[in-house]
């Protein structure tokens, strides 16, 4: 099988190369299956499979009475080759995550699935009525809008500044850059401030492992252990490598473990980073989703010397569809990032920025957050009960103090790939723990924020059965 | 002066390096001005200037009774160093364009300037009433929105598909990717399909020279001559370098020259590119702004074999603030780009996508285009008259058949840097031709689309005086 696989790939590469070099121009007939089989010393079935793949890719086409001909030799050829300049980890992760359909924003036509892991609030938490109100109000006072200021719509930056100040993190509007979600924030930081070969220290597991943003730019992820207080700050010194390192952390309701970093740990972390001159990215997009009580102060608010770049977002609290997030940090840094942002997409949607500004400055956002917290508390209670009912003997988990993520650590040994594909066949979508590390880990990221609690129960019950059958 | 400049930079680098290495930690006092002056063998004034710059950058602070102390050593230090991994051309272009405030989306607080070059439609062409209507309608039927499908909101892709089909360019919804403007489209193509070291063949001058998108990814721009039919297609063969080349063109109302490529030239271009297997990016964002008559068929519509990736946008016709554009191309290519887009920002604003879909599918967009064309025709007539009045002896220009750009070639020799800075001092913003090439060229990109015609006349009149005084 391995040998067949290798031969099959040889055939594919041979054909692609001949097309690329122009030896087989568009419209030309490629050699017969018999000849190709002879050339490579393989069965005709191997050739047929290879040709089928190239046809599906849009490079070849079977034409009645003419045999197989070349139909494309430029963009499609580029698009079916490995991504240029990406390291292997990054492109294999991309494929992995895409195939599993398990990354935020990737679920096309998956309405019929039970989403046990989706990192988004349920549609019944979406504030349709108030969103309508905001849009009507905005329409009523609409003025022409064009390209925005490089840092984003000023009234939105002012609203965010006031909002963060009330939360105890003092940030001026000129120290804020509006971005199209926190992911874009990371992209901009990667493109504008970091070097290829930089090391990113981070929690292990971490959401960041599921992204290509740093890895595709040639950076190395170095995971540090966590306990129930958050990232192990003492471990940083041991792992710290060089002046080009930075640290990435999700201190509030960490993705994927749900852990809330304690105030003591935050101070310790900041202290260590200051000593090592290690810049920090604080991804704080879950902060507002507290259930048991407001989280400790942000790292940014404790930071006296501009060590922290802060990421905020409306995606997890209001709607990911707005694509509104922000970076707060030293003004010189924000200026640089604004420049890069302008060179990337000329700024975020004016409409989204106006809608977001209206939500925050009117106070509707804060009201909505109270509602979200109530909903999450109810859902958490129910989810814990369901897990107690069906998973006690099979897994361990944390009770998150906020957010909607549960890190379900399985106590039984089972073949994980089979687990996920069986679940998928039964209409259950799961994010395997391995997306969030570099290794295979016996864990699943669950979310009680998206599926209805009836679906959640149904899904967990089915999951139990799959585990029992396959262990 | 050159020597002083070099010494001054040495001082700055010396201080930055000491901060970076941690030899001078935060809160520490740096050596006295006298000591630094001795160390470098320079006047104290040179040291003072260097320290002032580092203070303005946020790295140092003067503290009463304590001297000058270090206040930041991480992000700010990164942000005040040259961008990592950018080649010099790219970063110097960035600075150049930013300083001149002459790139789309960079004009902050410039309401009091006369914008003679701005690449955007005037506010009085913005369809405020209809935009209100569309938003009201949308609000009335609003449903919860979250992350969109990877290729973008399906009704928008369907609307664009139908729209392009009516224009003669057949594209299915699954062959369309919604992006946040054509610039992001270029970013995605650069990140997902092209290799570092690729050569981009393009018109010279070209809008692309003013961007960092390809150059910062290590690609080389190779400008080809133009005539009044468009890019010189025959020159491609002479300049064609290797299999990793691609071609970028703006065939309709080219930016910055305004030239419309003829149908004959389009066919010739496509032919040459097919022979060389040279993939084409067709940037067609000005197509709808025709005045004298509809443009020839798009390259994409003439293309039988997937050689062309097509860029469309609503930025130049409806509003740049929507941040809605699209890429159309072979489905496999669009799939790849959609993957990259999702990894970049999880898709474009749901609100903007819904508003755009409503505009196009309701027919309001086509009505608006008629209005835009009428306005542009009036503005063009007036602009030509103003140029005839004030520039006949000083410059040459084309009469654009559409769009809003004029490439004003000066016939007199004058120091261009002075020209632009004098104009700036008098409240006139100009895009110098040098932004659009790698050389200094005696040309200015004018736009009759943005400024009021009164301001346009005032600006051109002043420009005449500045030229006369400085030649």
Can you read off the two tokens belonging to residue A315? 């995606």
> Closest to B351 (Cβ–Cβ): which among A79, A85, A322?
A322
Mean pLDDT, range A49-53, rounded to an integer:
92
A2-79 is a CATH 3.30.365.10 domain: no
Q: Nearest CA to CA, how far is B260 from chain A (Å)? A: 25
In chain B, what residues touch A147 (CB-CB under 8 Å)?
104-105, 107, 120, 320-321
Closest CA to A115 of A129, A105, A125: A105
pLDDT > 70: percent of chain A: 93
In chain A, how long is the greatest CA-to-CA distance?
Answer: 76
> Closest to A321 (Cβ–Cβ): which among B73, B138, B351?
B351
Architecture of the domain defined by A140-362: 3-Layer(aba) Sandwich (3.40)
- Give the span between the Cα atoms of A398 and A380, in whole angstroms: 11
> Closest to A76 (Cβ–Cβ): which among B148, B195, B330?
B330
Q: Nearest CA to CA, how far is A23 from chain B (Å)? A: 11
- Token pair 């003679």 is at which residue? B116
pLDDT digits (tens, 9 = 90+) for A53-67: 999 888 999 888 888
Displacement of CA B379 from its chain's centroid (Å) = 23
pLDDT digits (tens, 9 = 90+) for B36-68: 999 999 999 999 999 999 998 889 998 888 889
Architecture of the domain defined by B95-124+368-470: Alpha-Beta Complex (3.90)
**Which of B20, B126, B146 is the mutation pick for testing A, counting most A CBs within 10 A?**
B146
What secondary structure letter does DSSP report for A348?
S
pLDDT digits (tens, 9 = 90+) for A319-367: 999 999 999 999 989 999 999 999 999 999 999 999 999 999 999 999 9
CB contact under 8 A, B321 and A148: yes
CB contact under 8 A, A106 and B150: yes
pLDDT of residue B1: 45
pLDDT > 90: percent of chain A: 74
Can you read off the two tokens belonging to residue A16? 């692609």
Can you read off the two tokens belonging to residue A270? 């900041």
pLDDT digits (tens, 9 = 90+) for B77-102: 888 876 555 444 444 444 444 444 44
H/E stretch holding A63 reads strand A60-63
> Closest to B139 (Cβ–Cβ): which among A136, A320, A333?
A136
- Give the span between the Cα atoms of B239 and B222, in whole angstroms: 8
Within A192-346, strands assigned E span 199-203, 220-224, 226-227, 230-231, 246-249, 280-283, 308-313, 325-328
pLDDT band of A255, cuts 50, 70, 90: very high
Mean pLDDT, range A113-140, rounded to an integer:
96
The answer, yes or no, to whether residue A24 has pLDDT greater than 50, is yes
CB contact under 8 A, B83 and A192: yes
pLDDT digits (tens, 9 = 90+) for B368-381: 999 999 999 999 99
Q: How far apart are the first and last CA of chain B?
A: 27
CB contact under 8 A, B193 and A84: yes
pLDDT of residue A95: 42
**If you measure CA to CA, which chain B residue comes closest to A273?**
B74
Instruction: Output the CA torsion sign for B415, B421, B423, B425.
Output: negative
Burial of A469 (0-12, 13-18, 19+ CB in 10 A): exposed
> Closest to A79 (Cβ–Cβ): which among B22, B72, B336?
B336
At A55 the three-state DSSP class reads helix
Closest CA to A135 of A127, A125, A144: A127
Count Cα neighbours of B461 within 13 Å in the Cβ-side half-sphere.
8
Q: Of the ranges A16-25, A88-97, A250-259, which one carries the lowest mean pLDDT score?
A: A88-97
Sorted by where each begins, the domain ranges of chain A are 2-79, 88-124+368-470, 140-362
- Spell out the residues 6+ positions from residue B437 whose beta carbon is closer than 8 angstroms to its own: B204, B205, B206, B209, B223
- Give the span between the Cα atoms of A326 and A182, in whole angstroms: 7
The answer, yes or no, to whether residue A87 has pLDDT greater than 60, is no
User: Is the model more confident about A216 or about B448?
Assistant: B448
- Token pair 């300083």 is at which residue? B99
**If you measure CA to CA, which chain A residue comes closest to B79?**
A333
CB contact under 8 A, A330 and B126: no
Closest CA to A259 of A234, A296, A223: A296
**If you measure CA to CA, which chain A residue comes closest to B108?**
A149
- Give the span between the Cα atoms of B326 and B174, in whole angstroms: 12
pLDDT digits (tens, 9 = 90+) for B392-442: 999 999 999 999 999 999 999 888 888 999 999 999 999 999 999 988 889
pLDDT of residue A90: 41
- Give the span between the Cα atoms of B246 and B277, in whole angstroms: 9
What secondary structure letter does DSSP report for B290?
B
pLDDT band of A209, cuts 50, 70, 90: very high
- Give the span between the Cα atoms of A407 and A399, in whole angstroms: 9
How confident is the prediction for chain A on average, in pLDDT?
90
**If you measure CA to CA, which chain A residue comes closest to B107?**
A149
Mean pLDDT, range A431-442, rounded to an integer:
90
Q: Nearest CA to CA, how far is A141 from chain B (Å)? A: 9
CATH fit for domain A88-124+368-470, picks 2.30.30.30, 3.20.20.140, 3.40.50.300, 3.90.1150.10: 3.90.1150.10
pLDDT digits (tens, 9 = 90+) for A258-282: 999 999 999 999 999 999 989 999 9
* Interface contacts A/B by beta carbons within 8 Å: 299
CB contact under 8 A, B80 and A332: yes
pLDDT digits (tens, 9 = 90+) for A288-308: 999 999 999 999 999 988 999
What secondary structure letter does DSSP report for B63?
E
In chain A, what residues touch B351 (CB-CB under 8 Å)?
321-322, 349, 351-352, 355
Mean pLDDT, range A151-164, rounded to an integer:
97
Separation in Å, CA B45 to CA A258, B11, B51, B69, B438: 55, 12, 10, 19, 36
B130-363 is a CATH 3.40.640.10 domain: yes
Can you read off the two tokens belonging to residue B126? 């913005």
Mean pLDDT, range A17-43, rounded to an integer:
89
Query: What ipTM, to 2 d.p.?
Result: 0.90
Can you read off the two tokens belonging to residue B328? 């159309």
pLDDT of residue B83: 55
pLDDT digits (tens, 9 = 90+) for B6-18: 888 899 999 988 8
The answer, yes or no, to whether residue B346 has pLDDT greater than 60, is yes
CB contact under 8 A, A58 and B84: no
In chain A, what residues touch B278 (CB-CB under 8 Å)?
74
pLDDT > 70: percent of chain B: 93
pLDDT band of A18, cuts 50, 70, 90: confident
Q: Nearest CA to CA, how far is A100 from chain B (Å)? A: 13
Taking CA A359 as the corner, what is the angle to CA A358 and CA A365, rounded to the nearest 5 degrees? 155
């Amino acid at each position: 099988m391995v040998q067949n696989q290798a031969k099959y790939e040889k055939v594919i590469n041979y054909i692609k190369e001949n097309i690329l070099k122009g030896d087989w121009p568009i419209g030309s007939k490629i050699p017969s299956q018999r000849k190709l089989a002879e050339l490579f010393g393989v069965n005709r079935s191997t050739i047929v499979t290879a040709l089928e793949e190239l046809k599906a890719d849009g490079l070849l086409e079977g034409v009645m009475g003419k045999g197989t001909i070349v139909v494309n030799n430029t963009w499609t050829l580029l698009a079916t080759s490995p991504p240029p300049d990406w390291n292997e980890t990054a492109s294999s992760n991309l494929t992995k995550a895409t195939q599993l359909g398990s990354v935020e924003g990737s679920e096309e036509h998956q309405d019929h699935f039970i989403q046990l892991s989706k990192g988004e609030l349920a549609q019944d938490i979406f504030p349709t009525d108030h969103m309508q109100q905001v849009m009507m109000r905005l329409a009523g006072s609409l003025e022409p809008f064009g390209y925005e200021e490089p840092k984003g719509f000023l009234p939105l930056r002012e609203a965010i500044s006031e909002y963060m100040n009330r939360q105890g993190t003092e940030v001026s509007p000129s120290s804020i850059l509006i971005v199209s979600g926190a992911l874009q924030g990371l992209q901009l930081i990667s493109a504008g401030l970091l070097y290829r070969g930089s090391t990113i220290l981070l929690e292990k597991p971490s959401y960041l492992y599921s992204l290509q943003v740093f890895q595709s730019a040639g950076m190395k992820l170095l995971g540090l252990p966590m306990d129930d207080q958050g990232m192990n700050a003492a471990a940083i010194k041991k792992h710290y490598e060089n002046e080009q390192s930075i640290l990435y952390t999700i201190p509030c309701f960490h993705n994927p473990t749900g852990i809330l970093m304690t105030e003591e740990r935050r101070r310790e972390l900041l202290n260590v980073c200051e000593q090592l001159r290690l810049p920090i990215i604080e991804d704080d997009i879950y902060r507002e989703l507290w259930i048991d009580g407001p989280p400790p102060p942000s790292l940014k608010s404790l930071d006296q010397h501009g060590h922290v770049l802060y990421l905020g977002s409306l995606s997890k609290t209001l709607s990911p569809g707005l694509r509104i997030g922000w970076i707060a940090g030293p003004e010189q840094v924000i200026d640089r990032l604004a420049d890069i942002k302008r060179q990337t997409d000329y700024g975020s949607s004016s409409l989204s920025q106006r809608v977001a500004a209206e939500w925050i400055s009117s106070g509707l956002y804060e009201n909505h957050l109270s509602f979200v917290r109530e909903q999450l508390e109810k859902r958490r209670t129910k989810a814990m009960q369901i897990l107690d009912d069906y998973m006690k003997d099979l897994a361990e988990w944390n009770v998150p103090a906020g957010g909607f993520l549960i890190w379900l650590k399985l106590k039984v040994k089972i073949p994980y790939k089979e687990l996920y594909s069986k679940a998928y066949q039964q209409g259950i979508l799961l994010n395997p723990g391995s997306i969030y590390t570099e290794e295979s880990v016996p864990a699943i990221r669950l979310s009680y924020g998206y599926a209805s609690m009836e679906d959640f129960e149904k899904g967990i019950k089915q999951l139990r059965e799959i585990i029992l059958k396959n262990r």
